[in-house]
A and B are shown apart, each in its own frame.
Chain A
């Protein structure tokens, strides 16, 4: 019961974090400069984005719940089971982020979700 409760916390916080991150990073635009100076500028700029700060908070919640989960469940269960968020996120990517999810991606996401479910058995 404790494991499933932790899993629910992980999924909810992961979905929220990923949507916020993807939205904000698309607004920022593609990163081209991977030199030390460029990375520093990018990280400083990103650290001031409210959505990214909220995303990091959600990831921290997910992380601490994950730490508690791997103490009571197998790693080979905890990681794939927490990916139950994949289908929810793909649907929300279409609905909220307005991404064009073609049939290839839907089928791929469905295969991955099926695989994740089998891993969690």
Chain B
């Protein structure tokens, strides 16, 4: 009987620890969200999202961070489109054209996993050297290039996961009807559309929040870029640069920017989750 009580005790202790772990996790989430929201809401007003910073973003007391909002939108929009164009063909190639256990597929997936794990600052440093080599300046274009490089592995990996479980029968049915692989694309696309949607949302979320890669390559400015060769402000850098100022109005802009960034990312993340839940047959 002693044996069973120790067993039970261990069980309860383990359970207790697990609940603690959960609470800690929740605690962190709530703490982070609460900090951002409380500081951000206090600083937030309509000016913040509709005006450019007045008098220089480091010391100017008026205005908002419209420059960062638009800059981020430009960069993320362009990168997402470019990323999709490059990633979708690759995913198709890996899953439809290649055999299941081909060496090339294995190596490719390995390479993408590695690229997925490369820190964004390495992308930034690498992107910076490429830019200098080609004579580009810190600009919208530079930011777009680096962010595209950054999110391609994310796209590929997420879409690959979705496509791997693709039922072979549908492909076979299509082939038996005489369609080429290129034409079967249509079928596959329709099937994995939710996967593409989730991947897009995920990548946008990652792209819009990343600071280390744009630091070197997109620069920063008070105005909205009107051409690809002008520097572009981004939301994460808006937070980073303005947070450290001794001038309270500037710090407020940082908090408001952090709030906007967080809200955008949360919306993307929730939508992503909703899509997966709606369309996925997998229970967890």
**Chain B binds chain A:** no
